[in-house]
Amino acid sequence: MKYKKLEQTWRWYGPNDPVSLQDVKQAGATGIVTALHHIPHGEVWPLEDIRERKAIIEAAGLTWSVVESVPVHEAIKTRRHDAEHYLENYRISLRNLSQCGIKTVCYNFMPVLDWTRTQLDLEMADGSKALYFDWIDLAIFDLHILKRENAEADYNSSILKRANEKFATLNEAELQDLRINVLMGIPNEKEIELETLRASINEYAAIGTQGLKENLKFFLNAIAEVCTEEGIKMTIHPDDPPYPILGLPRIVSTLEDFEYIINEVNQAFNGVCFCTGSLGAGMKNDTLAIFNAVKERVYFAHLRNVKKDDDGSFYEADHLGGDVNMFEIMKALTEENAKREQPIPFRPDHGHQMLDDLAKHTNPGYSAIGRLRGLAELRGLEVGVTGNY
């Protein structure tokens, strides 16, 4: 049987992305992962907008492989009185995507915030810059900027002590940078306001972890019929980082979480986006064991690496150079891929800002050259573990 390669994809933020589709093509990717970021969360994705975006991608000789993401509105996550309105909009958007032949949708169920970092330009030994999550800085944000009630209870004494000591040394500009970094949203979308975050924290405190799990089941059951009829694969992205932060619950952080999600809505459409970076940031997570447990439901993969310290703070390392054993992950991923009729799409998730990109405006984590390097390394690793050229 002829060996089937993984599908090499690239996240693109649309026509306003500093990285062009021509750049993507030169990097070696064949598939595009994108979304209609100009459509406000919760509104229907119009058929004409989807067709327009698809035409732009195909005119460049590429394929729109994965949607990342059709955002799940907060009304659904919290199951507010108007949730059904947004669920119906979501179902219409899925049908419109399917009509255009786009069948894989990545999404997350993180409350309010998407991925969270405290620093966007941590300098590496080689002079490149990486994204960083520091528990000390998060505590400073929580205690002194957000000023969340009873926040101290969520941090150990060592982190509290160091956070208060560091806070005393920071000036207003540094505190403003920290606020911006933590509240930063997806590129081309609005950042979260402090007051919105405070209100959401109170709302989710009433919902709790189990309540949020029930709301995820509610969402999946509400779209199950459409997904099954249209052949759509939903892939839930892990929490990033995979810990409760700022008093917000997390329900997609561990192997147990994935098993719960799959078993509670045990239908083929209900799948996983396997993100080695997000899962690798968990101190107790064994990424390879997680993959092997859920591999039949892995419909999309994000491959990146992290390096953690004793506190659980982490920076995004080289794709082949962090705590995640990418050799073993790639070996397992390609073995599963060989069983599929359609190849599993993966993308080199994030990358260091490096070389000429250091002097350019780039979306944090999504500069061109760092991801090009990551894709090249991962492509070579795939050849190495399979022996197929």
Asked if residue 143 belongs to a domain, the reply is: no
The structure tokens listed for 343 are 């190849």
Q: What b-and-e string marks burial along 171-204, b requiring 16 or more CB atoms within 10 Å of the CB?
A: eeeeeebbeebbbbebbebeebeeeebbebbebb
Asked if residue 223 belongs to a domain, the reply is: yes
Determine the Cα–Cα distance for residues 24 and 30; give it in Å rounded to an integer: 8
The total of other beta-carbon atoms located within 10 Å of residue 255's CB is 19
Phi, psi of 166 (to 5 degrees): -70, -40
Going by pLDDT thresholds of 50, 70 and 90, the confidence category of residue 189 is confident
Mean pLDDT to the nearest integer, 275-303: 98
Q: Give the pLDDT score at 2.
A: 64
Determine the Cα–Cα distance for residues 163 and 168; give it in Å rounded to an integer: 9
**Which of the following is catalytic: 73, 319, 350, 352?**
350
**Which of the following is catalytic: 37, 154, 275, 315?**
275
Q: Give the pLDDT score at 86.
A: 98
- The reply to whether 349 belongs to the active site is yes
30-34, 110-114, 178-182, 385-389: least confidently modelled range: 385-389
- The reply to whether 243 belongs to the active site is no
Question: At residue 1, does pLDDT exceed 60?
Answer: no
- The reply to whether 275 belongs to the active site is yes
Asked if residue 129 belongs to a domain, the reply is: no
Mean pLDDT to the nearest integer, 202-229: 97
Angle at 323 between CA 285 and CA 317, to 5 degrees: 125
Determine the Cα–Cα distance for residues 287 and 279; give it in Å rounded to an integer: 6
Residues linked to residue 119 through DSSP beta bridges, in sequence order:
132
Determine the Cα–Cα distance for residues 233 and 69; give it in Å rounded to an integer: 12
Mean pLDDT to the nearest integer, 80-97: 98
Determine the Cα–Cα distance for residues 246 and 277; give it in Å rounded to an integer: 21
Going by pLDDT thresholds of 50, 70 and 90, the confidence category of residue 188 is low
Q: Give the pLDDT score at 114.
A: 87
Q: pLDDT digits over 115-129, tens only?
A: 999 999 999 999 999
In percent, the amount of the chain with pLDDT more than 70 equals 99
Element (H, E) at 90: helix 83-99
Asked if residue 219 belongs to a domain, the reply is: yes
**Which of the following is catalytic: 137, 142, 239, 349?**
349
Asked if residue 264 belongs to a domain, the reply is: yes
Question: The CATH number of the domain where 59 resides is what?
Answer: 3.20.20.150
Asked if residue 171 belongs to a domain, the reply is: no
**Residue 153: partners with Cβ closer than 8 Å, 6 or more residues away:** none
Number of domains in the chain: 1
Q: Using the structure block, give the residue that is written with the tokens 């509610």.
A: 218
Q: pLDDT digits over 136-174, tens only?
A: 999 999 999 999 999 999 999 999 999 999 999 999 999
Q: Give the pLDDT score at 191.
A: 76
Computed over every residue of the chain, the mean pLDDT equals 96
**Which of the following is catalytic: 107, 132, 204, 366?**
366
Ordered alpha helix ranges (H), the chain: 21-27, 47-59, 74-77, 83-99, 135-140, 157-167, 172-183, 194-230, 255-264, 276-280, 287-294, 326-337, 368-386
3-state secondary structure of 388: coil
3-state secondary structure of 176: helix
Residue-range definition of the domain harbouring residue 227: 7-112+208-304+324-386
3-state secondary structure of 221: helix
Residue 262 in contact with residue 297, Cβ under 8 Å? yes
**Which of the following is catalytic: 37, 237, 319, 352?**
237
Mean pLDDT to the nearest integer, 70-93: 97
Structure-derived torsion over alpha carbons of residues 331, 365, 129, 242, reported in degrees to the nearest 10:
-70
Asked if residue 161 belongs to a domain, the reply is: no
Asked if residue 374 belongs to a domain, the reply is: yes
Determine the Cα–Cα distance for residues 147 and 315; give it in Å rounded to an integer: 25
- The reply to whether 227 belongs to the active site is no
pTM of the model: 0.96
**Which of the following is catalytic: 37, 73, 302, 319?**
302
The structure tokens listed for 173 are 């500009």
Q: Give the pLDDT score at 4.
A: 85
